[in-house]
Amino acid sequence: GDSVTQMEGPVTLSEEAFLTINCTYTATGYPSLFWYVQYPGEGLQLLLKATKADDKGSNKGFEATYRKETTSFHLEKGSVQVSDSAVYFCALSLISNFGNEKLTFGTGTRLTIIP
Amino acid sequence: GAVVSQHPSRVICKSGTSVKIECRSLDFQATTMFWYRQFPKQSLMLMATSNEGSKATYEQGVEKDKFLINHASLTLSTLTVTSAHPEDSSFYICSANRGGAEAFFGQGTRLTVV
């Protein structure tokens, strides 16, 4: 079945460090790929997405490129801030048998940035 | 826009009792809502798809009589955990689509059954 494997956390970095959170997927068909972020006490929010191979999603300084050849969608940021501390979820989406977009999530990676 | 509110955020209940969790889309109508649960250090697992005005569609392995879902209006879906047991303790999250592929999530509900 479809699955997402995500880098286990927790991850702790100093402010202004470079961030990479690895994500690989297994899917039948051609999924869309997402990164969601959950800040403390809040719901999941869409951070960025890519809908086809070689697309690059970007938002708030974060980037991820849809790599079909390596089935990966790694999240990167060049210089993290304390405000980036959150849990990050990688996810894929395929159309279900009922015509809905069905999300499959990774386990989430807790990121803590220290000043 | 596109706010989904989930209530309560935390609940503790006794074994054998039932617990209702509400998921509301505050500023849009959602014909479809989704319910997930997450065990510690595991993925969010889709439990069921809730469709307004019709029966929910449950994922394989999810007991429909255990997890009752009611989507009575375009802005409200409820999940009732019936006869809760300690193994039902988990983090439950709902999401709603506003007509496109992007899902908007509630804050989640931490259920503890003692």
The CA distance from A96 to A45, in Å, is 22
Q: How many CB atoms lie within 10 A of CB B80?
A: 15
Extract the tokens encoding A31: 């999924």
| Whether B46 and A103 lie within 8 Å, measured CB to CB | yes
Determine contact: B54 vs chain A, CB below 8 A.
Answer: no
With cut-offs at 50, 70 and 90, classify the pLDDT of residue A100.
low
Determine contact: A100 vs chain B, CB below 8 A.
Answer: yes
| Residue-by-residue pLDDT tens, chain B, 114 positions | 688 999 999 999 999 999 999 999 998 888 889 999 988 777 788 999 988 888 899 999 999 999 999 988 889 999 999 999 999 999 999 999 877 667 889 999 999 999
| Whether B107 and A41 lie within 8 Å, measured CB to CB | yes
Q: Which residues in A67-90 are b (16+ Cβ under 10 Å) and which e?
A: eeeebbbbbebeebeeebbbbbbb
With cut-offs at 50, 70 and 90, classify the pLDDT of residue A18.
very high
Mean predicted confidence (pLDDT) in A8-34: 93
Find the angle CA(B95)-CA(A8)-CA(A110) to the nearest 5 degrees.
55
**Residue B48: partners with Cβ closer than 8 Å, 6 or more residues away:** B34, B35, B56, B57, B58, B59, B62, B64, B67, B69
Predicted pLDDT at A30? 84
Mean predicted confidence (pLDDT) in A81-102: 83
A98 versus A71: which is more confidently predicted?
Answer: A71
Extract the tokens encoding A72: 């990966």
φ/ψ (deg, to 5) at A86: -175, 180
The CA distance from B31 to B50, in Å, is 8
Q: By the 8 A CB rule, do B23 and B6 touch?
A: yes
Of A89, A96, A101, the CB nearest to B101: A101
For residue B107, the chain A residues in CB contact (below 8 A) are: 41-43
Residues 57-86 of A with CB under 8 A from B: none
Extract the tokens encoding B109: 């509900």
